[in-house]
């Protein structure tokens, strides 16, 4: 074996030892310092932020971020991929809607017939308010309204409907007048 070959072998061996030492120090360092979550990029929280607003069409009404099936796990990975490609949350939602239909979105997009989802309940409430106002107007007796007393005991139940309570309230009023 020539001297050069020997030196080369020794140098390789030294590098090998050095590498081993660095590895061991690294392992020791990792075991001494606390190991926190290995967050891929984008993180699971980023993925769940988008997935929370989506549903898998296969699973029954379970949001994508918590669905335990393999299919949903794959969708979440696809979201991660899209996020890493720089798509915004809304662009990703639209991507899935185009691929799999509006059903994957947590609320129907406000277009076409879907407007009914957003318009009808407020209209119903307005209709209810209109009916209530009409009923109140038709039932309200002007004479009775004029006779409304402003006595301090107006907050109490009508004594005629509950004699027992009326006795309690009467007692209370008397005590208050007496300053007790």
Partner 1 sequence: MLANIGFGVLVVSFITSVYGIVASVIGIRKNSLAWVESARKAMQITFPLISIVALAIILLLVTGQYQVQYVYNVTSSTMPLYLKITALWGGQAGSLVFWSWLMSAFTTAVTLRKWDRDREFLPWVILVGLITLTFFLALIIFFENPFVRFWVSASGNQIIAMFPPEGAAPLIPADGRGLNPLLRHPGMVIHPPMLYLGFVSFVIPYAFGVAALITGRTDDRWIRITRRWTLVAWLFLSLGLVLGSRWAYDVLGWGGYWAWDPVENAAFMPWLTGTAFLHSVMIQEKRGLFKRWNMILIILTYVLVIFGTFLTRSGVLSSVHSFAQSAIGPMFFGFIALSMILSVWLLIWRWQILHSEGTMHSLLSREALFLLNNLLFMGILAVVFWGTVYPLISELFTGQKVTVGPAFYERSAGPLFAGLLLLMGIAPLSAWGHSTVKTLGKALWKPALAALAVVVAVFAGGVRNPWALMGFLFVALVVFITLFEYYRGVRARRHRTGENWLSALINLMGRNRRRYGGYIIHLGVVLMALGIIGIEMFQTETQGTIPPGGSLKLGPYEVTFNRLDIFDAADGRNVARATVLVSKDGRTLAELHPRRDLYIDTMQPMTIPGVRSTIEDDLYVLLVDWQPISSTGVTFKIYHNPLINWLWIGGFVFILGTLVAAWPDRDPQPVPVTARRGQVVPSSSSGD
Judge whether 93 and 53 are in contact, CB under 8 Å.
yes
CA neighbor of 55 nearest in space, from 85, 84, 96, 86: 96
27 is a contact residue toward partner 1 (CB under 8 A): no
Cβ proximity to partner 1, 18 vs 172, nearer residue: 172
Query: Whole-angstrom Cα distance, residue 82 to residue 50?
Result: 11
Q: Are 62 and 30 in contact (CB under 8 A)?
A: no
Helix, strand or coil, per DSSP, at residue 54: strand
CB of 58 to partner 1, least distance (A): 10
Q: Least Å distance between CB 26 and partner 1?
A: 15
**Footprint on residues 102-131 left by partner 1 (CB under 8 A):** 102-108, 112-114, 116-117, 120-121, 124-125, 128-129
Structure tokens at 100: 């799999």
**At closest approach, how far in Å is the CB of 154 from partner 1?**
3
Cα 91 from Cα 108, distance rounded (Å): 16
Nearer to partner 1, 26 or 121 (CB): 121
Q: Which residues contact 38 (CB under 8 A, 6 or more apart)?
A: none
Q: Which of 1, 29, 154, 179 binds partner 1 (CB under 8 A)?
A: 154
Q: How far is the CB of 22 from partner 1 (least distance, A)?
A: 20
The nearest distance, CB 179 to partner 1, in angstroms, is 13
Q: In this chain, which stretch among 10-18, 21-29, 81-89, 167-175 interacts with partner 1, using CB under 8 A?
A: 167-175
Q: Do residues 51 and 79 make contact, with C-beta atoms less than 8 angstroms apart?
A: yes
86 interacts with partner 1 by CB under 8 A: no
* Residue 179 in contact with partner 1, rule: CB under 8 A: no
Task: For residue 55, list its beta bridge partners.
Answer: 63
């Amino acid at each position: 074996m020539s001297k050069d070959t020997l030196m080369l072998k020794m140098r390789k061996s030294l590098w090998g030892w050095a590498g081993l030492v660095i590895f061991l120090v690294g392992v020791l360092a990792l075991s001494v310092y606390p190991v926190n979550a290995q967050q891929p990029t984008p993180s699971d929280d980023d993925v769940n932020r988008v997935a929370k607003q989506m549903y898998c069409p296969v699973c029954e009404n379970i949001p994508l971020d918590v669905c335990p099936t393999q299919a949903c796990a794959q969708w979440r990975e696809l979201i991660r991929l899209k996020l890493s490609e720089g798509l915004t949350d809304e662009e990703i939602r639209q991507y899935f809607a185009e691929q799999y239909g509006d059903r994957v979105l947590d609320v129907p997009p406000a277009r076409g017939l879907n407007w009914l989802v957003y318009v009808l309940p407020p209209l119903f409430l307005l209709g209810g308010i209109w009916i209530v106002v009409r009923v109140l107007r038709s039932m309200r007796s002007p004479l009775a309204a004029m006779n409304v007393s402003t006595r301090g005991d107006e907050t109490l139940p009508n004594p005629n409907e509950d004699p027992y309570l009326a006795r309690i309230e009467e007692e209370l009023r008397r005590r208050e007048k007496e300053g007790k």
